Amino acid sequence: MLWQGLMNGLSAGWIYVLVALGLTLVFGIMRTVQFSHGEIYMLGAHTVYYCSVAMGINMIASFGIAAAALFLLGVIIERLLFRRFRGQIEPSIIVAIGLILLFQTVAVIAFGSNEKTVPRLIPGVLTIGEIRIAWDRVLTMCVGAGAMLVLFAFIKGTKLGQAMLASSQDPEAATLQGVNVNHVSAVAMGTGSALAAVAGGLMGSVFTVEPFMGSFAITKGLAVIILGGMGSIGGAVVGGLVLGLVDGVVSLYSSMTMAYIVGFALIVLVLIIRPKGLMGGD
Amino acid sequence: MSRKSVANLALVVVALLMPAAARGNEYYLHVYMMCAINTIAAVSLRSIAKTGQMSIGQAGFMAVGAYASSILATKMNLPVYWAMLMGGFASMLLAALIGFPLSRIRTVYFVTVTMFLGEIIRLVAFEWRSVTGGSTGLESIPPPAAFSMGILHVNFANRIYFCYLALFVLLFVILILYNIERSHAGTVLSAIGQEESLSASVGINVASYKVLILCVGCFFTGLAGSLYAHYMTVLNPDAFSIFTSLYVLIYVVVGGRAFAGPIVGAVILTLIPEIFAALKEYQPFVFVLILFLVVFLLPGGLTDLPRRIRESAGRTSAGEAG
C-alpha cells in the first residue's frame, strides 16, 4: 500500500516537474512575473486536443504545432506587454492577471467550458510486483525527466542559455558583453511557453482538457520552483518530487484535498523560513 | 467648506439616497450591495498594500469572516450583529498570527505567499465538511435581527436594509482608514511602503506597523465577508477563489493610489460586468481592456485622470517655456 502511494507520489512528482518546466525558465531564471503561465499551458492542451482529436492530425505533429504556436504567443506577449515593465513587479503582476482573464475568456468562447478528453497516448498499465502505474503516466515522467535534462544542458552549455542567465542577473552587464537582452527575453518567454504547451498536451491526456485547468498548473508550478529554489533547474526537480511524494503519501491516509493543503502549507513555511528554497542561490 | 469636502458630502448623500430610489428593484439593490462589499474589501486592501504588502489572498480573509460569522450564528445561535463582528475578529486573529512572519518577506514572495494562503483557506473550507459544510457549504444563514426605532421598522428580509447596513459599515471603514492615513501613523505606514530599509534604519518598528495595518485591514475584510454571508444566506467555498482575490487587487490598481482610488475602482468594476451583461461570455474582455488601458496609459489609476488632464491642459496653454 505504502509502495503504491510512493509510486503514485513519484509519478505525480515528475508530472509537477513537467508542469513547472516552462515556469522554471520564465519565472525562475528570467524572473518575469508570468502568472498567466498556467493559461499558456491550458491553451497548449487545447491546441493538442483540437489538432489531434478534431482535425485528426497525428499526435507528434499536434504537439509540434502546439509548441510552435505557443512559442509565437510567448514571444508576442513578451514583446508587447512584459518588455515594457521589465523589472517592475507590480505592473507585471497586473499585466499577468489581465492575461489570465483574457486567455480564459478566449478559451471559453472558442472551445467551450465542457471537459474534453484526449485519448490515452499509451493505453494499458505497467505492473511491477504489486505496484501498478499507467503507461501514459510513465511517458509523462520520462518526458518530464528528459526535458529537465535538456533544459539544464541548454542553460549550462549553450551561449543562448548562458545569455539568458546573464540578462536576468544583470541586464546592463549582459548588454556590455554583447547580449541582446530584448532578443534573449523574447526567446526565453517563447521557449518557456512552448514547454508549457507540451506539458499541457501531455497532462490533457492524463486528466482532461478544460478552460480552467491553468490554475492547477500555475499553483503547482509555483509551488515546485519555490520549494526547489528559483533559478535552479535541479531545484525544480527536487521540488517537484518532494511535492509529489507529499501528495502521494498524504492522499493515502487522507484525501487529495488534504494533500494539497499540506503541500501548500509546506510552501508557505518555505517562503517564511527560507524563501530561497531548498537549492536556490542568490 | 472646501470644494473637495462639498464633493465628498454630495457623494455620500447620493449613496444614501440610491437604495431608497431603487426600492423594490431587487436587481439594482443587489448590485448596490455587491458594490458596497467590494468597496470595503478594496479600501482595506489599499491601506494594507500601502506598506508594500500586496496581497492576492484577501478572499481568504473574507472567507474566514464569512464562515466564522455564519457558524456562530447558525450553530451557536449568536445574535447576528455579534456574529458579524466576531467574523471580523476571526479574520483579524488570522492576520495577527501570520502577520509577523509575513512582514519579513519581500514583495514577489509576499504576493505568492498570500496566493497560497488564500488557496489553503479555500481548500480547508472545502475539506472540513463537519464545520463548513464542505463543497455544498452552509445554508439558512440568518439575517440580522429586525428592530424598530420610532416609525422606522428595519426588517432585513427586505434587501434595502442590507444595503444601508453595508453602506454604514463602508462609511465607518472609510472614516477609520482615512483618519489613520492622515495621522502620524499613516505617515509612518507610507514611509514603510516607500522605503522599508530606510524606515527601519531611522528606528521605525517596521514589522509592528505592517502587522497593525494588516490586522485592521483584515478585520474590515472579514466584516465584508460576514456581510456577504448573511446577505446571501448561503455560503460555499467557490465564492472565495483566487479570482475573487485578484478582482479586489484589480479594483485597487485600476482605481489608483489616492484614497478614493479603491472606491472608484470597486464601484466602476462591479458595475461594468452588469452594464455589459448582454455581452455574456465576451464581457470579461471589457474588463481586460480597462485593465490594460490603465496599466499602459494611466499608471496612476483612474483617480489620476483629472490630474493628467490638468497637466496636459497646462502644458498646451503655457506653450514653450524657457
Q: How far apart are CA A244 and CA B139, in angstroms?
A: 36
SS3 of residue B147 by DSSP: strand
User: Out of A93, A215, A255, whose CB is closest to B242?
Assistant: A215
Q: Quick one: how far is CA B69 from the chain centroid?
A: 17
Exposed / middle / buried, residue B322 (Cβ in 10 Å: 0-12, 13-18, 19+): exposed
Among A215, A255, A268, beta carbon nearest to B117: A268
Shortest CA distance from B252: residue in chain A: A94
SS3 content of chain B, % helix, strand, coil (to 5): 75, 0, 20
Residue A272 in contact with partner chain B when CB distance is under 8 A: yes
Q: Is the four-CA dihedral B245, B251, B257, B260 of positive or negative sign?
A: negative
Question: Quick one: pLDDT band at residue B1, thresholds 50, 70, 90?
Answer: low
CA–CA gap between residue B48 and residue B219 (Å, rounded) = 11
List pLDDT tens digits, range B193-218.
Answer: 998 888 989 988 999 999 999 999 99
Residue B48 has pLDDT above 60, yes or no: yes
Q: What is the mean pLDDT of residues A5-16?
A: 84
Helices (H) and strands (E) in chain B — how many of each? Answer: 14, 2
Domain boundaries, chain B: 3-241
For chain B, give the number of residues.
322
- Continuous H helices in B195-282: 196-201, 206-232, 242-255, 261-275
Which residue is listed with cell 455620500?
B12
Chain B positions in Cβ-Cβ contact with residue A268 (cut-off 8 Å): 113, 116-117, 120
Does B285 contact A97 at a Cβ distance shorter than 8 Å?
no
Q: Which of B120, B282, B291 sits opposite A98 (nearest CB)?
A: B291
Inter-chain touch A261–B102, beta carbons under 8 Å = no
pLDDT cut 70: percent of chain B above it? 98
**B116:A275 CB<8 A:** no
- Residue contact B113–A268, C-beta within 8 A: yes
Closest CA to A271 of B306, B110, B118, B57: B110
> What is the residue-averaged pLDDT of chain B?
89
Q: Which residues of A touch B252 (CB under 8 A)?
A: none
A88 touching B (Cβ < 8 Å): no
Q: Percentage of chain A with pLDDT > 70?
A: 99
Of B45 and B9, more confident: B45
The answer to whether B253 contacts chain A (CB < 8 Å) is: yes
Of A19-23, B51-55, B274-278, which has the strongest mean pLDDT?
A: B51-55
Which among B227, B114, B121 is positioned nearest to B173, based on CA atoms? B227
Whether pLDDT at A1 is above 80 = no
Average pLDDT over residues B117-139: 89
User: Distance from A126 to chain B by nearest Cα, in Å?
Assistant: 32
Taking Cα atoms as reference points, which of A226, A205, A234, A242 lies closest to residue A277? Answer: A226
C-alpha cell at B33: 450591495
Q: With an 8 Å Cβ cutoff, is B276 touching chain A?
A: no
Q: What is the pLDDT of residues A169-217, one digit of tens each?
A: 888 888 888 888 888 889 999 999 999 998 898 888 878 888 888 888 8
**Residue B184 C-beta-side C-alpha neighbours within 13 Å:** 1
What is the pLDDT at residue B37? 96
DSSP of A226-274: HHH-TT-HHHHHHHHHHHHHHHHHHHHHS-HHHHHHHHHHHHHHHHHH-
Tell me the pLDDT tens digit for each residue of A25-34. 888 778 888 8
CB A67 within 8 A of CB A197: yes
pLDDT value of position A281: 61
Give residue A33's pLDDT: 84
B interface test, pick of A33, A82, A93 with most B CB neighbours within 10 Å: A93
* Calpha distance B25→B9 (Å, rounded): 26
- Strand duo B147-149 + B152-154: pairing: antiparallel
- How far is the alpha carbon of B192 from chain A, nearest alpha carbon, in Å? 17
Is A105 in CB contact (< 8 Å) with chain B? yes
Over 70: is that where the pLDDT of A121 sits? yes
Spatial distance between the Cα atoms of A273 and A73, rounded to a whole number of angstroms: 37
Rounded CA-CA distance B220/B203 in Å is: 29
B112 touching A, CB under 8 A? yes
pLDDT at res. A5 = 81
- Of the pLDDT bands very low, low, confident and very high (cuts 50, 70, 90), residue B318 is low
Instruction: Give residue for cell 518577506.
Output: B105
pLDDT for A25 equals 86
Chain A hits for B102, CB-CB cut-off 8 Å, are 272
Residue labelled with grid coordinates 529554489: A229
* pLDDT of A117 over the 70 cut: yes
> What is the identity of the amino acid at A48?
V
- Give 3-state DSSP helix, strand, coil % of chain A, rounded to 5: 75, 5, 20
Chain A residue with CA closest to B101: the answer is A272
Best of B54, B107, B108, B111 to substitute, by most chain A Cβ atoms within 10 angstroms, is B108
Q: Does B100 touch chain A (CB under 8 A)?
A: no
Nearest residue, CB atoms, A255 vs list B105, B127, B284:
B127
User: In whole angstroms, how far apart are CA A206 and each of A11, A140, A228, A252, B176?
Assistant: 11, 9, 25, 20, 52
Nearest-5° Cα angle at B115, A71 to B295:
60
Tell me the backbone φ, ψ of residue B138, rounded to 5 degrees: -110, 150
- Report d(CA A121, CA B112) in Å as an integer: 34
Q: Would strands A125-128 and B147-149 be described as parallel, antiparallel, or unpaired?
A: unpaired
**Which of B104, B127, B282 is facing A261, going by the closest CB pair?**
B127
Nearest residue of A to residue B105, measured between CA atoms: A272
Which of A33, A91, A219 has the CB atom closest to B295's CB atom?
A: A91
Inter-chain CB proximity A268 and B120 less than 8 Å: yes
Please give the pLDDT value at position A57: 82
Alpha-carbon gap, residue A27 to B165, rounded angstroms: 44
Q: Are A104 and A113 in contact (CB under 8 A)?
A: no
Cα separations in angstroms, B11 against B14, B154, B171, B294, B310 = 5, 24, 11, 24, 22
Confidence of residue A40 (pLDDT cuts 50, 70, 90): very high
Task: Retrieve residue A44's grid coordinates.
Answer: 497548449
Chain B residues within an 8 Å CB radius of A83? none
Question: pLDDT, tens digit, for every residue of B134-156?
Answer: 888 888 888 888 888 877 888 88
The reported pLDDT for the residue numbered B45 is 96
Which pLDDT belongs to residue B269?
A: 92
Distance CA B244, CA B261 (A): 18
Task: Give the DSSP letter of residue B145.
Answer: P
At residue B126, does pLDDT exceed 80? yes
Percent of chain A's residues with pLDDT above 90: 22
CB-based contact, A104 to chain B, within 8 Å:
yes
**Site of grid cell 495577527:** B96
Q: Flag if B109 and A275 touch (Cβ within 8 Å).
A: yes
**What is the rounded CA–CA span in Å between residue B160 and residue B16?**
11
**Chain mean pLDDT for chain A:** 86
Q: How many CB pairs under 8 A join A and B?
A: 87
Helical pair A89-111 and B242-255, crossing angle rounded to 10 deg: 120
Rg (CA), chain B: 20
Chain A interface test: which of B106, B110, B119 (most A C-beta within 10 Å): B119
- A103, A261, A269, A273, best to mutate vs chain B, most B CBs in 10 Å: A261
